[in-house]
Amino acid sequence: MEEEVKGKTSAVVAYLTIVGAVIAISMNSEPKYKFARFHTRQAFGLHIIFLGCSLFLSQWFNQYAWYGLYIFYIVLWIYGFVGALSGKEQEVPVLGPYFQKWFTFIQ
All structural domains of the chain with their residue ranges: 8-102
What is the three-class DSSP state of 12? helix
Q: Return the ∠ at Cα 45 (arms to 96 and 73), rounded to 5°.
A: 80
pTM value is 0.88
What integer pLDDT is reported at residue 63 of this predicted model? 84
Highest-pLDDT range among 5-9, 71-75, 91-95: 71-75
